[in-house]
A and B are shown apart, each in its own frame.
Chain A
């Protein structure tokens, strides 16, 4: 039995890794094969996996995870500005700082559970957002956002408008204009950027998988099923919760850091509550508590956001061109409500349908379909040959 789950896990992991690495080929037919979207899918996949460690395993719904995204992004930008354009220190610092932030917020918020916990995290995230906009403008550059710049020539220029990059300067890296972010010389834009994020996504998936199967993961699931019972048996659940919160905060920090690494700008809007809400949607859409579901949800929402929002009436018209003309116009008019600016409507409808009919998200849908096939093949197998004796 133990071996069987282990084998299943390995198959799942290998399959996941293969699919992620082949995404450019898989997504080609639906016109989603371009670096920016692929990067976003991988990055939000990491974010959603991390969010699922908290929400899926412990059942604690955080509405403030965007704060860690923001922390990660700003930290990364500052590492680019002060130290080096290499992404490694940036990512390390971001993950650590996001972890610290998560510890602070978690320490306070986890004193409560249920709706009170959600509201507390939401309040903290909105506070971070407002701070980034107003008081912390010297660090965050407010609404304009933090960007990388050329090396400072005049010591009186503000660090927001000019960079130091001490490490790069010490190594004598020549810069022509504003440099690009890199991983030991590999540019972080384009497909290299995607493969970098994809490898991290696979590593994150692996960690999440190990975590779910570990004793620690079992404890988190126990908290979800009945926290009181655990308390009565004398188990102190808070350290487990804080650990889960910090881990998922670090995942979010990594995601924020990668966002800034693939596209070196950090703005406060990333920390807005809508961004926190988005990851909740991704997780629920894909399937709460499953490993692959959140990544599926992330991919689906990013695809809708970037592609469905760009379809206009012209594209619809050519799509329906096989229909007679009057019908074509009718379909175009109906369809245009759901694409372009209306992509939110599409997403909302999809969300409602899934929550009502498939509470377990897309993963439940996939499960049901495979079950149908399995039953069928089982029947066939029964008819064909005698059942094997039990081992």
Chain B
């Protein structure tokens, strides 16, 4: 009798304790995340504030990701020191070492250039590491997915290299900000230059990366070359990270097209361009014209990867290290001293984003997303390598001059692969905010 009682008691106590622990833990964890009393997500405690750098460390855009991370690390150094690099040439002088009296720390994550993985790593940084802001990325699909997540979580997202119209177009969010340019601007800048160099009435074949940026880029190229009588023969979608593009390039030869537009980026562009050149496309004559290739979005990393194949090929870029303004020179010098080679446009835009965010927090006097956002909206600045620039309030998109570049015929070093053909002024590439649709919606402070 007594023995039986003993067992029951023990079991009651055991299961009771487990239930109590579970019940006790539940409300504690429900409320914990929002109980810090500052009224916004991840309000920094103590004397540090954490930035989250979410970049592709593996996959087709890994080169860009590595460069972005380098730039971020340097940006954090400069912000904490209150000087160095482009912080010295930046028109706003609010930052004087740290942000709002706090030292900046950072955590990193690998987006793998996949939406799921990128959101998972962003969530880890927000939920586990207490990141106040997420920035980075080298793909528009990922940028849009992470931007949506940051809006839901209530932190600011400063997008990295994302070129699709949708990021600040139909998928724009109040908590998201973009410094990089977009395909609309690329098209507006590149159209006239292509016409001047290659003449009217060409037949165009598009190879397009099969995701939001590819569609956006293809649409903009068609829109801005149509007025010159350029006609689309075919537009073929290719999977991201395909590696081998020969099956897509072979049909170009027999299509009657005389121009190939490669709406590819990263290693995809390196592979497709290299193969197109190897297939002898550029030596051909079609419709009585020299066959030409256009790469709408260029970066030095890609041009370097494709080597001699880029010679004479036109494209556009957000920034190039050979620019001679004070900001660019200071940035290239600081980056070169630290890492031994010039920065890419991905490094440039992410460095700018980190600086712009820190500066906005300092000017707002808080890290609260709605107030930081208000400080960024309509903010006009200079000295970050692109000349006078404005963060447009209506769509959180930066407006600035666009560079049209060409693969250099006689490179002097392995980094000197692109030359700037034309700087298209901001007025020529600006469009009405309503053109791309979408709605910002309200800020979310978490």
Contact = CB atoms under 8 A, between A and B. Distances in A.
Contacts of A40: 120
A226 to B, nearest CB: 40
Given A14-B15, A25-B21, A145-B141, A133 B115 contact: no
A14 B127 contact: no
Interface of B: 15, 18-19, 21-22, 25-26, 29-30, 32-33, 57-58, 107-110, 114-116, 119-121, 123-124, 127-128, 141, 144-145, 148-149, 151-153, 170, 174, 210-212, 237, 239-240, 439, 441-442, 444
A143 to B, nearest CB: 4
A341 B69 CA distance: 14
Contacts of B239: 133
A218 B110 CA distance: 45
A37 B124 contact: yes
A191 interface: yes
Nearest to A39: B123
Interface of A is mostly: helix
Contact of B18 (A18, A24, A36): A18
A177 B444 CA distance: 9
Interface string A35-51: 11100100000000000
A312 interface: yes
Given A133-B210, A192-B30, A309-B110, A267 B439 contact: no
B166 to A, nearest CB: 8
A305 B120 CA distance: 10
A144 interface: yes
Contacts of A34: 123-124, 127-128
Given A142-B210, A192-B30, A176 B442 contact: yes
A177 B115 CA distance: 21
A189 B149 CA distance: 11
B211 A269 contact: no
A35 B107 CA distance: 18
Given A133-B210, A310-B108, A36 B123 contact: yes
B30 A143 contact: no
A161 interface: yes
A310 B151 contact: no
A36 B32 contact: no
Given A22-B21, A22-B22, A309-B110, A177 B119 contact: no
Nearest to B29: A191
Which 8 pairs from chain A and chain B are nearest by CB? Answer: A177-B441, A18-B18, A143-B211, A21-B22, A34-B128, A36-B123, A34-B127, A191-B29
Interface in A1-51: 14, 17-18, 21-22, 24-25, 31, 33-37, 40
A133 B128 CA distance: 33
- The size bracket of the interface on A is 35 or more
Contact of A312 (B26, B32, B108, B149): B108
Contacts of B444: 177
A346 interface: no
23 contacts: A22-B21, A24-B25, A25-B21, A33-B128, A34-B123, A36-B123, A36-B127, A37-B124, A37-B128, A144-B211, A177-B442, A178-B151, A191-B30, A191-B33, A192-B30, A195-B26, A263-B123, A265-B115, A267-B145, A309-B110, A310-B109, A310-B124, A340-B110
Contacts of A340: 57, 110
Contact of A263 (B114, B119, B240): B119
Interface in A180-204: 180, 189-192, 195
Q: Which of A14, A133, A143, A270 has the most CB of B within 10 A?
A: A143
Given A191-B33, A263-B123, 18 more contacts: A22-B21, A24-B29, A31-B128, A34-B123, A34-B127, A35-B33, A36-B127, A36-B128, A144-B211, A145-B115, A190-B127, A191-B26, A263-B119, A306-B124, A307-B124, A309-B121, A310-B108, A341-B58
Contacts of B32: 191
Contacts of A84: none
B18 A269 contact: no
A144 B141 contact: yes
A298 to B, nearest CB: 14
A25 B28 CA distance: 11
B122 to A, nearest CB: 9
Contacts of B128: 31, 33-34, 36-37
Nearest to B107: A310
Contacts of A191: 26, 29-30, 32-33
Contact of B152 (A180, A192, A195): A180
Given A177-B151, A310-B121, A143 B240 contact: yes
A267 B439 CA distance: 23
A265 B148 contact: yes
B210 A189 contact: no
Contacts of B21: 18, 21-22, 25
A52 interface: no
B144 A18 contact: no
Contacts of A269: 114-116
A36 B211 contact: no
A100 interface: no
